[in-house]
Copies of this chain bind each other. A is one copy, B any other.
Amino acid sequence: MNRIRVAVDMDEVIADTYGAMLGWLIERHGPRWSPETLHGRQLFDMLELDAADALREAMHDGAFFAELPVIDGSQEALSAIASRCELFITSAAMEFPNSLGPKFLWLRRHFPFVDPLNIVFCGDKSVIAADCLIDDNARHFQRFGGQGIVFSSPHNANVTGYPRIRHWNEAIGVLAEVFPGAL
């Protein structure tokens, strides 16, 4: 039996972009946001226009993406997935083209066991041929040909209809449930 192919998103799934965005905002605007106010909402929807514009401008500088923290447990989980499945990293990066180089180098630094040929930067994830996609944005699942699996983030707390990974230490268990006998 061929190994299943698992595609994994980057921002807010293995890279703590959300935490870095929140830290950037709180540093400039004070502690106006908490996990409670953000629950189930998109961060950009909470911002006044000038704060949103300033944050987008900061993100257009690729340096923002060079030093993102690694999401807890992602290295161990992806290493385990890579040993049992065909692992691809699929990141929607086209909104911030300057992030492309820094994101690639970030992956090489923190996930050296991921084959660089298995790194994909794209926009519309319906172009990804994989058995499943682990992503925090369920909108990517609508036209994706495989099984979508939600990775928990405050903004997707209310999303239902897909298997969910709440922490990376659940990942192998969830994959084994979704693909019985394949791992």
Given A123-B119, A129-B127, A145-B129; A101-B104 close (CB under 8 Å)? no
Binds B, one of A9-17, A30-38, A110-118: A110-118
Residues of B within 8 Å of A115, CB to CB, are: 123-124
Copies in the complex: 2
Residue of B nearest to A100 (CB): B100
A82 interface residue (CB < 8 Å to B): no
A residues with a Cβ closer than 8 A to B are 5, 7, 62, 88, 90, 94, 97-98, 100-101, 104-105, 115-124, 126-130, 145
Residues of B within 8 Å of A129, CB to CB, are: 126-129, 145
Q: Which 10 A-B pairs have the closest CB atoms?
A: A117-B123, A100-B100, A129-B129, A97-B104, A121-B121, A120-B122, A117-B124, A94-B116, A100-B101, A97-B101
The answer to whether A119 touches B104, judged by C-beta atoms less than 8 angstroms apart, is no
Residues of B within 8 Å of A100, CB to CB, are: 97, 100-101, 104, 121
The answer to whether A94 touches B101, judged by C-beta atoms less than 8 angstroms apart, is no
CB distance from A153 to the nearest CB of B (A): 21
Residues of B within 8 Å of A123, CB to CB, are: 115-120
Given A62-B101, A94-B104; A127-B128 close (CB under 8 Å)? yes
